[in-house]
Amino acid sequence: MRYRLVIFDWDGTLMDSAARIVACMQAASRDAGWSELADEAVRDIIGLGLPEAIATLCPGIDPARSELLRSRYAFHFVQGDTTPMPFFPGVESGVAGLRGLEARRLAVATGKSRRGLDRIFRESNSGHWFHASRTADETRSKPHPQMLEELLAELDVDVTEAVMIGDTEYDLEMARALGMDRVAVTWGVHAPDRLAACRPVFTAEAVPELFEWLNR
């Protein structure tokens, strides 16, 4: 067993949700009377907590408008937008395979809110896949490593026995801050050269390749 604890990012790593996030953030920006947000600008902040994402996308935004944008994003994401959000092909079988070893633990570290992650868990019937999870609103947003520190403590796993898997530099940099192994996946939102700069121990270019490496 390569690692006792495998920690996954969610959006762009397990779930193909970037298109919906972009559409909802752009709609929310229009609702809040902010200037149009470019697709690439929104893709770049995927993985951050929502307050941090808004602050990055909308520098100088006042608190009232920021809160309006946040609430409109939540509305569009939950009710107003129907862009599909499937798991990437191979994710479900790959995660099931990882759960085959009783000693192995699986976790999620995400920029989503707790309410948002729990809703996705219910809608996709995937919550039972994981032994623990952390969200940006109950700890600190990536790239700060606090959510990883909390997962290690909760599951009683040493940092040398854990790996973080993600599609953004935010995922990889929070693991790097702890000296935790990190794996980059290239089917998400950040370009391969940005991921390579974070010194991953492995880079997966396809989902089956990721799970094959983890089970090797």
DSSP-derived 3-state class of residue 2: coil
Give the range among 56-60, 99-103, 156-160 with minimum mean pLDDT.
Answer: 99-103
Going from the C-alpha of 129 to that of each of 2, 92, 95, 116, 125, the distances in angstroms are 19, 9, 7, 17, 9
Task: Return d(Cα 32, Cα 69) in angstroms, integer.
Answer: 5
Average pLDDT in the chain: 95
**Any idea where the domains of the chain sit in the sequence?**
5-15+86-215, 18-80
Is the predicted pLDDT of residue 57 greater than 90, yes or no?
yes
Q: 60 CB contacts (<8 Å, ≥6 apart)?
A: none
pTM (two decimals) = 0.94
Query: What is the CATH T-level fold of the domain 18-80, as seen in this structure?
Result: DNA polymerase; domain 1 (1.10.150)
Query: What is the CATH T-level fold of the domain 5-15+86-215, as seen in this structure?
Result: Rossmann fold (3.40.50)
